[in-house]
Each structure stands twice: as C-alpha cells, then as structure tokens.
Amino acid sequence: DKGNFRHFMAKEIYEQPEVISHTLANYIDMATETVRLPEDLPFDFSQLKRITICACGTAYYAGLVGKYWMEKYARLPVDIDVASEFRYREVPLEEGGLAIFISQSGETADTLASLRYCDSQGQHILSIVNVRESTIARESGTVFPTLAGPEIGVASTKAFTCQLTVLACLAIAAGRQRGILAESDERKLVHALVEVPRLATQALKLEPQIEDIARDLSRARDVLYLGRGLNYPLALEGALKLKEISYIHAEGYAAGELKHGPIALIDENVPVIVVSPSDSLFDKTISNMQEVAARGGNIILLTDEDGAQASGDQPQATLVLPKMFQFVQPLIYAIPVQLLAYHTAVFMGTDVDQPRNLAKSVTVE
Ligand code: M6R
C-alpha cells in the first residue's frame, strides 16, 4: 500500500526517520548511549587483523561508507569489493577472519557465492540483511538485521540508510573492543546517531527546492556527481540512483579524480552535483568545484549553512542541510540525493518503482 504517496519509492524515502530509529533501537542502549552487541558473537574485533566486505549495487556503496568508518573509528583495515568480482578473484584469506555481506534481499546470487567462498576459507560470516528469512541470512553465522521493513521500489532507499545505521554501530563497537574509542568517544558517536532521525526529517523538508532542481536536471543528458571521503560513496550512489530510474547517464567520481579525466566532459550542458558538507575536506572539494565553474559547468551544491556561505555565488543551486557531526553525514545526505533522482524520474515520466531492465532481487549471475 502506497498510502498517500504516488510511488513506493517516495513512501520509502519518507519512512527513513522511522526505520532508522527502529534499527538504532535494536543496536543501541539509549540509557547508557552505548552500542549493544549480541553476547554470543563468535569473534572479537580486538583479535581481527582485517575485515572483508562484499556486496552489490547500493549495498556495496553502504559497505564503502562502512570501510571509511571502520578505518577511522576502529583503526581496522577493510578490503571491499563488489561480489561479482570478489567471487572470482581467489582472494587469499587468513583463517578466522571476518567477512561481512550486505544485502537488502538476502538473495543476490553473486553476494551469496562470495559468502560461500569465505565460509569455505574459514571466515566468520556476518550478514547485514533486510529480509530475515533469506538465503544469505540462513547461511550466515551472525545476522545483523536492518529493520527497514519491506522495500518494494526497485531503487533501494531506506534499506541503504538502515545498512549505514548498522555499519555505524558496528564501527563504534569495533572501536570500543579495539581500545580505540574511549567511553566518552563512544557516547559522542552514539549520541550523533540518535540525532539522525530528527536530522533526516529536516532533510526531507528540502523536497520543494529539490523538485525545482530536478526539473532542470531532467533536461540533462549526462550528470556528474562529486564527493570526497565519506561523501564519495554518496556520489556513486547518487549517480546509480539517477541512472536507474530516470535513465539519464550519470557518473559518480571522487572529487579529487576530476582532474584525472572527467573534467574533459565539463561544459554548460553537464550539471555537476557536489556533495560537500563543511567538514575537514570541504576546502579541497570546493577547489574542485571552482575548476568546474571555471569551465562553465552548472553546479548543484549539497552542503550546510557554512558551506553555502563559503561557496559564494558559484553554484547554480544550493541545498542547505543542517550542520551535523561528520560521522553521520552519509546518513543524512543520502536523502536529498534520493529525492533528486526521484523527482527527476517523475519529470521524465518513467516507471519509478519498476524501471526497465531491472529486478528487485538479482538472483542470476
Ligand atoms: O538485495 P541486494 O541489496 O543484495 O541488492 C543489491 C543490488 O542489486 C541493489 O542494491 C541495486 O543496485 C538497487 N537496484 C540499487 O537501487
């Protein structure tokens, strides 16, 4: 049931404050502001030398954010790959390592094959899945469910932010077990997570402005997304979402890679969406933005109040999000990124919930 929404995708975007809240409640002890791990976890993060993460599509981008978090907050090296490559790579793995699989459906063929390979190599198997009765969940030693509820739209939205929520909790728990995060650090990070549903609700209020921007975007043939650090995976996710449902060609790039090639594409016909909150990497990304502006590119900037001030009149449009702790940025910036793709697709008149050539769960190789 779509309720009052025109598409399942819109409904699912709007459900995010609530489902993130549910997911958080499953992993966080609100009274002590700490992450709660199952008692019978068969591994200890302090014993691990590295982690392998494997997934496809949007779930892979969630994993990429997870890698940045694990490295920064738990000082734990992470290898990540798309499952369709990982499964054929004959990756050497040290016995007793941890492999994490992320999947909304829990039925993605390549992700499952990668899981079985890691299992055969003596890894602990942890899966982050939305469908609890799925094959991936069944074959995992440990399951960390996302509590997103059924996701009907082919374009993944709420499952993505719930995957991020679980990965954020895991990174905090890992940081604690490895002695990287002190009690007060953990509380600070958990506190930032608890604020996410409220910030997400605020981000949803940008919708009317996003609709205006989407009207222009729907006339583009190619769109570029740029982001750095934690926002790089979001640039990838933004481009995937846009091409999936609007059929407009889009590419996501690490902002620093711009000058290594894609800048050749920039002219007044290629909108460039820059995801750049005013954090420690802001200045770097803004100088990439200036390179785009100098070539006549039309910039759409996703930032906060300080970022908007600092970028002056260079962007053609600016979406101003609330100021937040860097740690939780991907969870909140995901929302305008999803809404931009959604409204562009609506202007194009495509079948938003059932885009051509795509299936909700990819059970073929
Ligand atoms: O069910 P899964 O999370 O394993 O699916 C992975 C991808 O097929 C999925 O995320 C796909 O990329 C979505 N259509 C993205 O919106």
DSSP states of 237-290? HHHHHHHHHH--EEEEEEGGGGGGTGGGG-STTSEEEEE--SSTTHHHHHHHHH
Neighbours of 39 (CB within 10 A): 5
β-strand partners of 144: 128
pLDDT value for 293: 87
Q: Is 5 exposed, middle or buried (0-12, 13-18, 19+ CB in 10 A)?
A: middle
What residue type is assigned to position 88 of the chain?
A: Y
What Cα–Cα distance (Å) separates residue 173 from each residue in 21, 96, 176, 197? Answer: 18, 19, 5, 21
- Type and span of the H or E element at 171: helix 158-177
Q: For 150-187, what is each residue's pLDDT tens digit?
A: 999 999 999 999 999 999 999 999 999 999 999 999 99
pLDDT value for 302: 97
Say how many Å lie between the CA of residue 190 and the centre of ligand 1: 27
pLDDT value for 279: 87
* Binding site membership of 104 for ligand 1 (Cβ less than 6 Å): yes
* Binding site membership of 134 for ligand 1 (Cβ less than 6 Å): no
Q: Across residues 40-66, what is the average pLDDT?
A: 97
Q: Across residues 106-114, what is the average pLDDT?
A: 97
* Binding site membership of 129 for ligand 1 (Cβ less than 6 Å): no
Closest CA to 62 of 174, 162, 146: 162
Mutating to test ligand 1, I would choose from 356, 362, 365 the residue with most ligand atoms within 8 A of its C-beta, which is: 362
Closest CA to 104 of 363, 360, 355: 360
Does the structure show a pLDDT above 90 at 285? no
Q: Which residues are catalytic?
A: 360
Averaged pLDDT score across all residues of the chain = 96
Q: Which residue, judged by its Cα, is nearest atom 11 of ligand 1?
A: 57
Q: For 193-239, what is each residue's pLDDT tens digit?
A: 999 999 999 999 999 999 999 999 999 999 999 999 999 999 999 99
* Binding site membership of 156 for ligand 1 (Cβ less than 6 Å): yes
φ, ψ of residue 171 in degrees (nearest 5) = -65, -40
**Dihedral class, residue 3 (left if φ above 0, else alpha if ψ from -120 to 50, else beta):** left
Say how many Å lie between the CA of residue 361 and the centre of ligand 1: 7
Indicate the range of 27-31, 47-51, 259-263 predicted with least confidence.
Answer: 259-263
Say how many Å lie between the CA of residue 102 and the centre of ligand 1: 10
φ, ψ of residue 40 in degrees (nearest 5) = -95, 25
What residue type is assigned to position 252 of the chain?
A: G
What Cα–Cα distance (Å) separates residue 150 from each residue in 1, 15, 178, 240, 337? Answer: 11, 11, 35, 21, 21
Does the structure show a pLDDT above 90 at 313? no
Q: Across residues 288-307, what is the average pLDDT?
A: 92
Closest CA to 170 of 238, 263, 102, 219: 102
* Binding site membership of 155 for ligand 1 (Cβ less than 6 Å): yes
Indicate the range of 75-79, 114-118, 340-344, 354-358 predicted with least confidence.
Answer: 354-358
The DSSP bridge pattern shows strands 78-82 and 51-55 to be parallel
Secondary structure class of 205 (helix, strand, coil): coil
Does the structure show a pLDDT above 90 at 113? yes
φ, ψ of residue 296 in degrees (nearest 5) = 80, 5
Say how many Å lie between the CA of residue 35 and the centre of ligand 1: 27
Say how many Å lie between the CA of residue 130 and the centre of ligand 1: 11
pLDDT value for 305: 96
Predicted TM-score of the model (pTM): 0.97
- Type and span of the H or E element at 127: strand 124-129
* Binding site membership of 361 for ligand 1 (Cβ less than 6 Å): yes
Q: Which ipTM did the prediction report?
A: 0.99
pLDDT value for 347: 96
Mutating to test ligand 1, I would choose from 9, 108, 240 the residue with most ligand atoms within 8 A of its C-beta, which is: 108
* Binding site membership of 105 for ligand 1 (Cβ less than 6 Å): yes
Q: How many residues does the chain have?
A: 365
Does the structure show a pLDDT above 90 at 251? yes
Does the structure show a pLDDT above 90 at 69? yes
Closest CA to 197 of 13, 19, 65: 19
Secondary structure class of 363 (helix, strand, coil): coil
Above pLDDT 70, what percent of the chain?
Answer: 100
Both structure tokens of 273? 């969406």
Q: Which residue, judged by its Cα, is nearest atom 14 of ligand 1?
A: 155
pLDDT value for 127: 98
pLDDT value for 365: 83
